[in-house]
Amino acid sequence: MSETKKKKLTISEEFKTMKNFLLPLLQQTKIDLDWAEVYSKFIMFKSIYDSIKTQTFVAKNLKIKEINKMIKQAIPESMFSEISKLRKIYEFTVIVIENENINL
């Protein structure tokens, strides 16, 4: 076998070994980042929930407007288009907070 082929084979084997080592770490990092995002959103919505709970509203639509305003204040402007999605996540968070015995 020529010297060049041996080098290519060695580099290929090293790359494969490195890939097999790094791929699980990369996958775990993605999982960790996803969970960090979920946790931070949960904390954000819990804070909004706690704040809304202390207030009294004359009408339901005023409460909804205040929730939307608080969500908008807590997110970057680039996410304003996702307000309805975040609102649904907020509603789910409220269900989780208010029902301690919920089965997910």
Write down the mean pLDDT value for the chain. 88
CA distance linking residue 71 with residue 46, whole number of Å: 11
Give the Å distances, CA to CA, from 87 to 5, 26, 79. 59, 31, 12
CA distance linking residue 60 with residue 71, whole number of Å: 17
pLDDT of res. 14: 85
Over the stretch 17-66, which tens digit does the pLDDT of each residue have? 888 999 999 999 999 999 999 999 999 999 999 999 999 999 999 999 99
Give the Å distances, CA to CA, from 93 to 30, 42, 61, 80, 99. 23, 7, 19, 19, 10
Per the model's pLDDT, the better-predicted residue between 31 and 96 turns out to be 31
Q: Where are the domains of the chain?
A: 3-98
pLDDT of res. 99: 86
